[in-house]
Chain A
Amino acid sequence: MAIGLHNSDFKNPVVRWIDQRMPIFTMMQKEYGTFPTPRNFNYFWNFGALAMVNLMIMIATGIFLAMHYTPHTAYAFDSVERIMRDVNFGWLIRYVHMNGASMFFIVVFIHIWRGMYYGSYKAPRELLWMLGVVIFLLMMATAFMGYVLPWGQMSFWGATVITNLFSAFPLVGDWIVALLWGGFSVDNPTLNRFFSLHYLMPFVIVGVVFLHVVALHITGSNNPLGVEPKGPQDTLPFHPYYTAKDSFGLVIYFIVFACLVFFVPNMLGHPDNYIPADPLVTPAHIVPEWYFLPFYAILRAVPDKLGGVLLMFGSIAVLFVLPWLDSSPVRSMRFRPIARISFLLWTVCFFVLMYCGAMPAEEPYVTISRLATAYYFAYFLVILPLLGRLERPLPLPESIARAVLGGGPLPAGAAAKPMEKA
């Protein structure tokens, strides 16, 4: 082997030639081929891969939509309808993009939920978790700006309401709002900059996703037991085991996606967004996209403008410090009976908030929102820190292999009996 070349194990001469000079094949083999992965993943562990695929779908459809879209208040609505009517398969690409946003949030919500249930945020995966929260924030910003682009009534008024949130901040608030608008109200400059940023941010997300994966491949994945693999008997090579499992999950995901796109493409949208934006008429009932509803409900639960805004941002900011709020050394909720109940209740509160966010700001929804908001924060700030000290976890299994195979440590591959799939 010549000096300076990478020592490649590949036999194919072309692959080998490239790999010696730029070992991407070795890297892929290491990170996605032989990568030791806990053997006991359930299907919740598919959602990271699904989110990655979803991001690619959004970028691909978005690039093609941008070829036909016009970011100008006078043309935006019509250019979107032109995509729907005149561009070949434009309706398909647009509906995939539109419902892809919803699919993305469904996938990411489940992905985050899984991380919280199985304690994936705990040491040594804190940075991995925080990078994930960054991705989530970027996604929300991207989705918000994307929703403005069709320039329907909900686009316009959603943009107006959300950008006005920033005016709550003392001293700099109005300055920030003017910066977002580029004028005296949401108007053409706003639409133009949102289009520019909406095109840019997905690529920033790709960058952070890359870091997220790098961090993951240092610590390795968590697993449903929350017990670190202790040796080769606890892990499987990523390929073919998890490539096969992820592929199956991916097809199921595509089926759900296709049902939305082909049969109820507008179910998760709002009819008002098919009315062109009119700065003189506010729709009777402004609701954000469904994935923002829980946070919108938290905003409205507080009677004070600044307080509501701070609490809304705080509801996501608290996720950054979650690894330090939860001091229990046990990761998986399977072994934390009280924390498990508390977390499932938190999950219910999340959906209650989602429901209340869709309802008009009147009783009983305001009171319900307040209670749910209180519990949302109490879970993070009170319950988890207390449980870390007080809760007595169930006994943890010695190792993954022992728990999975139900006997003493076995030589790899010598399965004693058929067991449930997953």
Chain B
Amino acid sequence: MLRSTLKAFAILGGLLAIAPTPARAAGEAIAIPDTRFSFDGIFGTYDRASAQRGFQVYKEVCSACHSMRLLSYRNLRELGLTEQQVAAIAAQFTVVDGPNDEGQMFERPGRPSDRFRRPFPNQQAARAANNGAYPVDLSVITKARLGGADYVFALLTGYQDPPAGVTMMDGMNYNRYFPGHQIAMAAPLNPDQVEYADGTPATVEQMARDVTTFLAWAAEPELEQRRAMGVKVILFLTILGGLAYAVKRKVWADVH
């Protein structure tokens, strides 16, 4: 009886496991290479140094067009920056606040509790400044794209000259991994575009890896806590399962 039950479950489980996957694989199939990140796997954690460098890349390159409206400067504490460093970063930006007692809006230096400054006040302004293309918000970008961090890394390093025979639309750039291959964003990273304080050579790949790590952290800041808790919960449940099974056998011993 147990055998047949298990068999039936195995079949059902197998079918359930494969059934939903095509939902993710559908669409134009471009193979995204699997990039190794520090946060891969069950025990992976964010490489803090890399994520800090990634924030620098975001701040000096991406943030010219891309907002991260769900993040606040205070969140950077989680990347290992000190309270003073965060306050100093926040103070570099000017924030509109108000209204004051005269009813006027006024500008003041940013505070850690402020959201990341947005490059454009709204979507229309962003489009107007970018030939009609909207630079997407990057707050949860690795959760919002098929392939996640792998895709973001592939996109950042996937720029190349269009292959022969491909006609590019005006103002578009060729990218191997962008769906349709024509992307409005020009290759954002160039060698030595930023100068890392820790002396890491700023190759395109290094910058792409760093900023991807930063963006993955921004999208899932709870990831490390989640996985650590998950390991504990599963261990606990495994023991509880063993105990429950022993109790069940004991209870049923006099029936069989």
**Residues of chain A whose beta carbon lies under 8 Å from any beta carbon of chain B:** 39-40, 42-44, 78, 81, 84-85, 91-92, 95, 106, 110, 113, 224, 236, 240-241, 244-245, 247-248, 250-252, 254-255, 258-259, 261-263, 265-266, 268, 270-272, 274-276, 284-285, 287, 290, 293, 347-348, 351, 354-355, 358-360, 413, 415, 418-422
Sample (27) of A-B pairs whose CB atoms are under 8 Å apart: A42-B2, A78-B70, A91-B226, A92-B229, A106-B16, A113-B12, A244-B251, A251-B237, A254-B237, A255-B234, A258-B230, A258-B233, A258-B237, A262-B227, A263-B230, A268-B20, A272-B144, A284-B179, A290-B19, A293-B19, A354-B20, A358-B22, A360-B26, A413-B255, A421-B2, A421-B249, A421-B256
B256 lies within 8 A of A274 (CB):
no
CA distance A247 to B148 in the complex (A): 37
Q: Which residues of the other chain, B, contact A354 by a CB distance below 8 angstroms?
A: 19-20
Q: Which residues of the other chain, B, contact A244 by a CB distance below 8 angstroms?
A: 244, 247-248, 251-252
A262 lies within 8 A of B23 (CB):
no
Interface residues of chain A: helix, strand, loop or mixed (majority): helix
**Nearest Cβ on chain A to B127's Cβ, whole angstroms:** 11
Q: For the complex, count residues of B whose C-beta is within 8 A of A.
A: 55
* Contact partner, A42, options B1, B27, B241, Cβ 8 Å: B1
CA distance A252 to B256 in the complex (A): 23
B140 within 8 A of A: yes
A359 lies within 8 A of B22 (CB):
yes
Residue of A85, A266, A287 most packed against chain B (CB within 10 A): A85
Q: Which residues of the other chain, B, contact A347 by a CB distance below 8 angstroms?
A: 15
Q: Which residues of the other chain, B, contact A251 by a CB distance below 8 angstroms?
A: 237, 240-241, 244
A241 lies within 8 A of B12 (CB):
no
Q: Which of B3-11, B30-38, B160-168, B184-192 contacts A (4 or more CB under 8 A)?
A: B3-11
Q: Which residues of the other chain, B, contact A266 by a CB distance below 8 angstroms?
A: 143
Other A-B pairs beyond A43-B2, A78-B70, A421-B256, 6, CB < 8 Å: A84-B222, A224-B1, A244-B244, A293-B19, A293-B20, A358-B23
CA distance A111 to B135 in the complex (A): 47
* Contact partner, A422, options B5, B136, B226, Cβ 8 Å: B5
Given contacts A81-B139, A241-B251, A358-B23, contact A263 B227 (CB under 8 A): yes
B146 within 8 A of A: yes
Q: Which residues of the other chain, B, contact A110 by a CB distance below 8 angstroms?
A: 12
Q: Which residues of the other chain, B, contact A415 by a CB distance below 8 angstroms?
A: 254-256
B158 within 8 A of A: no
State the 9 A-B residue pairs at the shortest beta-carbon distance, nearest first: A262-B230, A274-B144, A290-B20, A358-B23, A251-B241, A91-B222, A248-B244, A358-B22, A354-B19
B85 within 8 A of A: no
A263 lies within 8 A of B42 (CB):
yes
A421 lies within 8 A of B145 (CB):
no
Q: Which residues of the other chain, B, contact A419 by a CB distance below 8 angstroms?
A: 256
Q: Chain B 202-244 against A: per-residue CB contact (8 Å), 1 yes, 0 no? A: 0000000000000000010110001101110110011011001
B106 within 8 A of A: no
Residue of B5, B136, B219 most packed against chain A (CB within 10 A): B5
* Contact partner, A358, options B20, B144, B229, B233, Cβ 8 Å: B20
**Nearest Cβ on chain A to B182's Cβ, whole angstroms:** 15
A355 lies within 8 A of B26 (CB):
no
Q: Which residues of the other chain, B, contact A285 by a CB distance below 8 angstroms?
A: 26-27
Q: Chain B 133-162 against A: per-residue CB contact (8 Å), 1 yes, 0 no? A: 000110110011110100000000000000
**Nearest Cβ on chain A to B199's Cβ, whole angstroms:** 32
B248 lies within 8 A of A248 (CB):
yes
A262 lies within 8 A of B233 (CB):
yes
Q: Which residues of the other chain, A, contact B3 by a CB distance below 8 angstroms?
A: 420
* Contact partner, B26, options A39, A84, A245, A287, Cβ 8 Å: A287
* Contact partner, A274, options B8, B12, B16, B140, Cβ 8 Å: B140
* Contact partner, A85, options B70, B230, B233, B248, Cβ 8 Å: B70
**Chain B residue nearest in CB terms to A91:** B222
Q: Which residues of the other chain, A, contact B229 by a CB distance below 8 angstroms?
A: 92, 262
B247 lies within 8 A of A43 (CB):
no
A247 lies within 8 A of B227 (CB):
no
B144 lies within 8 A of A247 (CB):
no
* Contact partner, B145, options A248, A271, A276, A413, Cβ 8 Å: A271
